[in-house]
Amino acid sequence: MSKKKLLAALSVAALLSGLTACSSTRSDSSSSSGAGASGAAGGLIGIAMPTRSLERWNNDGAHLDDLLKKAGYTTSVQFADNKVEQQITQIENMINQNPKVIVVASIDGTALSPVLKKAADAKIKIIAYDRLINGTPNVDYYATFDNYQVGKLQGEYIVKTLGLDQGKGPFNLEPFAGSPDDNNAKFFFAGAWDVLNPYVKSGKLVVPSKKAPATNDDWKSIGIQGWSSQTAQSEMDNRLNSFYAGKKVNVVLSPNDSLALGIEQSLESKGYKPGAEWPIVTGQDADLANTKNIIAGKQAMTVWKDTRSLGDQVAKMVDQIVKGEKVEVNDEKTYNNGNKVVPSYLLPPIVVTKDVVKEKLVDSGFYTADKLGL
């Protein structure tokens, strides 16, 4: 099939699924309270999510959808299977349905300029959700967790747990970074590396694979495309096979849970056993499988970003935009997208370790005890 035909077919498929998403509007939405009940809002809101393959985006999409419907809006929620072209087509189809706002969690934050120009021409406002969209003036707001802080928390956890400030070491470290096309990945790495690199330089952290970026800007050299668990697993297999004869790895900097999962599988397949010899593995998102691994002693920590609060904030911003009110932001300097500084709302991420799983994740209602096998 030619590229043109393929795109046309994708458009139709996306349009159909968009219509399904709209028509699946829950029947209780119009009777619930919120902006709709007050009569001031309503209308269509587009939600473009990157993929269903990662738990967090399913939760993000469902929660935001639910909030907006309760506030009286109709929604079109789309997931793009981590394919950039598919996401562009989905956004194009949303534009054709004339929504008031489109919320975009981008796959490639540099690929959306043309489609967002069309949105701007149609007077549709854009909120970048979790991931910044780069190189365009046509992104109005950004809502996310403090991405630099996510990495910093991972780095600080490693320093504290290993006792590096007490002069302990040297320890063997293997660092990983996120997807090279995701603007967040740079911030996660910078936050962690600003904390860890001084110990690499002083020799307290040794990187046997030599895959230690010299500076923050070199992070893409250890980036895992598409945040793939499988790629992280084979990369870890390679490092253990090639550089660890007669050695043990003590700590793995993993930027998120999907990478951590692959890394943990690799460790297991190479004979590491949970307990004293299992390395510290970091993560992010508090995905279910990883939270279970934390309980089982296969992952030391995760940086939890309560996606419900991100959804709450974004739903509020949507409502403020539609009503013509002042949109709440708390950072107007950090996120320069290469074209402008995008007014942002940053939420605080939280460290979760085994001893606080119940307090943070169960007591807050993020997971039931049952789901975690507690």
Binding residues (CB under 6 A) for ligand BGC: these are: 54, 56, 130-131, 182, 184, 227, 256, 258, 284-285
Nearest distance from C-beta of residue 32 to ligand BGC, angstroms: 29
Nearer to ligand BGC, 78 or 258 (CB): 258
Nearest distance from C-beta of residue 154 to ligand BGC, angstroms: 12
Which residue's CB comes closest to ligand BGC?
256
C-alpha–C-alpha distance, residues 188 and 152, integer Å: 8
Nearer to ligand BGC, 130 or 174 (CB): 130
C-alpha–C-alpha distance, residues 18 and 20, integer Å: 5
Nearer to ligand BGC, 65 or 285 (CB): 285
C-alpha–C-alpha distance, residues 66 and 55, integer Å: 17
C-alpha–C-alpha distance, residues 42 and 74, integer Å: 7
Nearer to ligand BGC, 99 or 109 (CB): 109
Nearer to ligand BGC, 143 or 205 (CB): 143
Nearest distance from C-beta of residue 164 to ligand BGC, angstroms: 26
Nearest distance from C-beta of residue 173 to ligand BGC, angstroms: 21
Phi then psi for residue 172, to 5 deg, are: -85, 125
Nearer to ligand BGC, 11 or 53 (CB): 53
C-alpha–C-alpha distance, residues 329 and 348, integer Å: 14
Cα→Cα distances 285→25, 92, 268, 339, 350, Å: 28, 30, 22, 29, 10
Phi then psi for residue 331, to 5 deg, are: -150, 120
Nearer to ligand BGC, 285 or 319 (CB): 285
Other Cβ atoms within 10 Å of 291 Cβ, number: 28
Nearest distance from C-beta of residue 228 to ligand BGC, angstroms: 10
For residue 149, give the amino acid letter: Q
Nearest distance from C-beta of residue 280 to ligand BGC, angstroms: 19
Reported residue count of the chain is 374
DSSP letter for each residue of 269-335: HTT--SSTTSPEE--BS--HHHHHHHHTTS--EEEE--HHHHHHHHHHHHHHHHTTPPPP-SBSSS-
Nearest distance from C-beta of residue 255 to ligand BGC, angstroms: 8
